[in-house]
Amino acid sequence: MPKAFIKAARLRTLPLSISGIIVGSFLAYNNGFFNWLICLLAILTTIGFQVLSNFANDYGDGVKGTDNEDRIGPKRALQSGEITPKQMLRVIKVTGFLTFLIAIWLIYLAFGKENLLYFFLFLFLGLASIAAAIKYTMGKKAYGYSGFGDLFVFLFFGWLSVIGSYFLYAKQLDWTIFIPATAIGMLSVGVLNLNNLRDRISDEKAHKRTLVVKIGEKFAKYYHYFLLISAFLLALLYTLLHYSTSIQFIFGIAFIPIAKHFYTVYKNTKPVLLDPELKKLALSTVLFAILFGLGLIL
């Protein structure tokens, strides 16, 4: 049973989820704001949200019948019968509760009693993140079934992750931080879009109206190219705005595998062959986050 829950947690998705925290933390460090404990708790909170989302997705797609013999990706826990719906609901509640406790610790550490407005604002954002993680596929009005998954991934794994983590350290904002936050958001959405491209046929049969299902494979690919190219241009723009040394362009290394991925998607005609590309794009996004951050401080 523990192995089944570890499998359902989909550990391979966790590195991507903390990419925004990595960028936000490097930005804060570069501007003279940093705290190791805040960094650790922010990472744990984000991992908690991601695991919660993965459990909820497994449950939501499982009970709706979306995970069936047509699905291309790895077999889910409910789909395989390794975990019952009741057991999954229980672990969703426990994961949500523990994540919320870590989030409260993080917020209190960052703002204390002196900044109650910020404390309650981030408390609300924490609750919103939990709700978003659960409602992606669970419930009658799951937004993942209506084509809004891309927007929520962009907001929570892009803007909230980068800008929110930076604010936890600095208690102030610089408008240019929205630029790398948007880049991370677009790469994260790219991973979701790739996942939905892979599952387009089975999703359409199950009435899961992802953005890919709505706009079709051809335009979903154009959308994918737009996300990848825009992420690179935004990273380039931020670097030029804050240029001090050529080492800042080191993030370009991460776009070498992304360029190869771009070509693979362009040439692809079989959705099943997109499955390995998920890992490649996710790891390339993490690599980008690390190299972009190192370029700021080296």
- The angle that helices 36-64 and 116-135 make with each other, rounded to 10 degrees, is 30
CB 16 within 8 A of CB 288: no
CA atoms within 13 A on the CB side of 89: 6
Q: What is the model's pLDDT at position 253? A: 98
Q: Per-residue pLDDT for 83 more than 60?
A: yes
Contacts 24+ apart (CB under 8 A), 132-136: 132/53, 132/156, 133/49, 133/50, 133/52, 133/53, 133/56, 133/96, 134/52, 134/53, 134/56, 134/92, 134/96, 135/56, 136/53, 136/56, 136/57, 136/60
Q: What is the model's pLDDT at position 134? A: 85
Q: What is the model's pLDDT at position 294? A: 98
Distances (CA, A) of 293 to 80, 152, 180: 40, 24, 10
Q: Per-residue pLDDT for 84 more than 80?
A: yes
Q: What is the model's pLDDT at position 163? A: 97
Q: What is the model's pLDDT at position 71? A: 58
**Model confidence over 162-185: pLDDT tens digits?**
999 999 999 999 999 999 999 999
Considering Cα of 124, then 211, then 158, then 47, what sign does the dihedral take? positive
Average pLDDT value for residue range 289-296: 97
**Model confidence over 49-75: pLDDT tens digits?**
999 988 888 777 777 666 556 656 666
Who wins on pLDDT, 20 or 85? 20
Residue where the block lists tokens 């609750």: 127
**Model confidence over 131-174: pLDDT tens digits?**
888 888 787 778 888 889 999 999 999 999 999 999 999 999 99
What tokens appear for 168 in the block?
A: 């936890």
Q: Per-residue pLDDT for 279 more than 90?
A: yes
∠ CA 78-83-89 to the nearest 5 degrees?
85
DSSP 76: P
| Structural domains in the chain, sorted by start | 2-297 (1.10.600)
**Model confidence over 233-260: pLDDT tens digits?**
999 999 999 999 999 999 999 999 999 9
Q: What is the model's pLDDT at position 202? A: 84
Give the pLDDT band (50/70/90) at residue 38.
Answer: very high
Q: Per-residue pLDDT for 1 more than 60?
A: no
Average pLDDT value for residue range 118-137: 90
* CA proximity to 92, closest of 134, 153, 140: 134
H or E element at residue 107: helix 85-111
Who wins on pLDDT, 73 or 269? 269
Q: Per-residue pLDDT for 286 more than 60?
A: yes
**Model confidence over 177-233: pLDDT tens digits?**
999 999 999 999 999 999 999 989 888 888 888 999 999 999 999 999 999 999 999
